[in-house]
Amino acid sequence: MATTPAPLAGERLTAAPSRSDRLPRHVAIIMDGNGRWARSRGLPRIEGHRRGVASVRRTTEQCVRLGIEQLTLYCLSSENWRRPEAELSFLMVLLEQYLVEERSLLQKQRVQLSMIGRRDGLPAATLAALDKTTDLCAANDGLRLCLAINYGSRAEIVDAARRLAREARDGGLDPDAIDEQRFAAALDTAGTPDPDLLIRTAGEMRVSNFLLWQISYAELWVTDSLWPDFDEPQLDAALSAYARRERRFGGLGQT
């Protein structure tokens, strides 16, 4: 049974917003708690990851229904390679299986697929499944689903700095011309809107090296629910909380 999400201080859960102009364009989610979900039930950690795939499907389908423009899911951080080898091998197999089995559904729902993160170190079979599914979904014009795999935001920022440095060294870029827009264009997320809403499950109050540049003005919503328990009503609750907030972007807002 899904647990009740814990709102941030001062927030009250309501139904999903009915006005599309109050929905975020881009929702990013730190999917946390698979291992704790399994442990609390006396199951191996891999079973938590398996059940977490169902939450990915539910969340993606709900975003499609609501007309969300982009959904970015933190699937595997660059720090996760410290986990046991057997668990990592299972995660790669599970990811490959998801990419193959979900193709027809992604096509039916017109979902466009992309990845951010370093490809180095990922199994060839996983990359092949990812590339094939990405190609098959390339012409779709619905929700953009971005999977952050072997991703770390600090590494992304370092890679962007290196790209710009090489361009400047080769004479193709004036260093004084580098501004926030030019730097953002060198990131893995170039051409996509910054997240408006960042959701984290499992009650952890940290961003875990996820989209550090991009979430500068994102609204945060944290739930105690573990990722395998995350469902449509909880996503709706997060969206309702977002819809009630006034986004000032450093200004004074409305008076």
Across the chain, what does the average pLDDT equal?
A: 90
Whether the pLDDT of residue 10 is over 70: the answer is: no
What are the residue numbers of the active site?
Answer: 32, 80
Distances (CA, A) of 142 to 42, 130, 138, 194: 39, 18, 11, 18
Q: How far apart are CA 41 and CA 21, in angstroms?
A: 41
pLDDT digits (tens, 9 = 90+) for 233-251: 999 999 999 999 988 766 6
Based on the structure, what is the number of domains in the chain?
1
pLDDT digits (tens, 9 = 90+) for 40-78: 999 999 999 999 999 999 999 999 999 999 999 999 998
- Give the phi and the psi of residue 34 in degrees, each rounded to 5: -60, -45
pLDDT digits (tens, 9 = 90+) for 119-154: 998 999 999 999 999 999 999 999 999 999 999 999
Whether the pLDDT of residue 183 is over 90: the answer is: yes
Task: Summarize the confidence of residues 23-32 as an average pLDDT.
Answer: 97
Q: Is the pTM of this model over 0.75?
A: yes
Output the CA torsion 94→97→98→99 (10° steps). 120
Q: Residue 162 belongs to what H/E stretch?
A: helix 153-169
The answer to whether residue 102 is domain-embedded is: yes
The answer to whether residue 253 is domain-embedded is: no
The answer to whether residue 119 is domain-embedded is: yes
Report the half-sphere exposure of 42 (CA within 13 A, side-chain side).
0
The answer to whether residue 176 is domain-embedded is: no
- Give the phi and the psi of residue 246 in degrees, each rounded to 5: -100, 120
The answer to whether residue 237 is domain-embedded is: yes
The answer to whether residue 174 is domain-embedded is: no
Q: Cβ distance 189 to 17 under 8 Å?
A: no
**CB burial of residue 143 (10 Å; 0-12, 13-18, 19+):** buried
Q: How far apart are CA 228 and CA 26, in angstroms?
A: 22
The answer to whether residue 252 is domain-embedded is: no
Q: How confident is the model at residue 2 (pLDDT cuts 50, 70, 90)?
A: very low
What residue numbers bound the domain in which 198 lies? 23-153+194-244
The answer to whether residue 114 is domain-embedded is: yes
User: What is the end-to-end Cα distance of the chain in Å, rounded?
Assistant: 43
Nearest one of 113, 153, 149, 116 to 133, comparing CA atoms = 113
Whether the pLDDT of residue 14 is over 50: the answer is: no
Q: How far apart are CA 65 and CA 76, in angstroms?
A: 26
Distances (CA, A) of 231 to 45, 79, 102: 20, 27, 18
Q: Is 129 helix (H, G, I), strand (E, B) or coil?
A: helix
The CATH number of the domain holding residue 50 is 3.40.1180.10
